[in-house]
Amino acid sequence: MSQEIAVVGSAEFTTGFRLAGVQTFENVPDDEKPEELDEAVEGVLANDDVGIVVMHADDLDYLSRQTRQNVETSVEPTVVTIGSGEAGGSGLREQIKRAIGIDLMAEEDGENE
């Protein structure tokens, strides 16, 4: 059974992913994020068919402490945040490392972990 990709965020954020074929998504309008985002994220995290959850990095600020902790520690599904430039390449590197357990860029950088 293959794992699906799910996207959570505003309609503007999810539309590109939907056009690319992502079928699992939760649209949360910007003006409803404080109330609705936790529920949407928790629902996707609980979906056994989902292997990767994509969110905008700025949306993490709207999550409750408990939901944000669930997002940051989730391995299955893996949560990938994009946007805002805050995390940069090292943030994505850490997310991939957490998801698969190895640092794919270690040799490239001359590091051994």
> Comparing 88 with 30, which gets the higher pLDDT?
30
pLDDT exceeds cutoff 70 at 111: no
Which residues have a Cβ under 8 Å from the Cβ of 5 and sit 6 or more positions away?
A: 17, 22, 24, 50, 51, 52, 53, 54
Average pLDDT over residues 74-95: 72
pLDDT band of residue 87 (cuts 50, 70, 90) is: very low
pLDDT exceeds cutoff 90 at 53: yes
pLDDT band of residue 48 (cuts 50, 70, 90) is: very high
Residue 13, Cβ density class (10 Å: 0-12 exposed, 13-18 middle, ≥19 buried): buried
β-pairing, 50-56 with 4-9? Answer: parallel
Domains parsed from the chain with CATH numbers: 4-87 (3.40.50.10580)
Residue count (the chain): 113
pLDDT exceeds cutoff 90 at 91: no
Are 44 and 26 contacting, i.e. CB atoms less than 8 angstroms apart? Answer: yes
Average pLDDT over residues 75-100: 70
Between CA 48 and CA 96, with CA 80 as vertex, the angle to 5 degrees is 100
**What are residue 56's DSSP bridge partners?**
82
pLDDT band of residue 105 (cuts 50, 70, 90) is: low
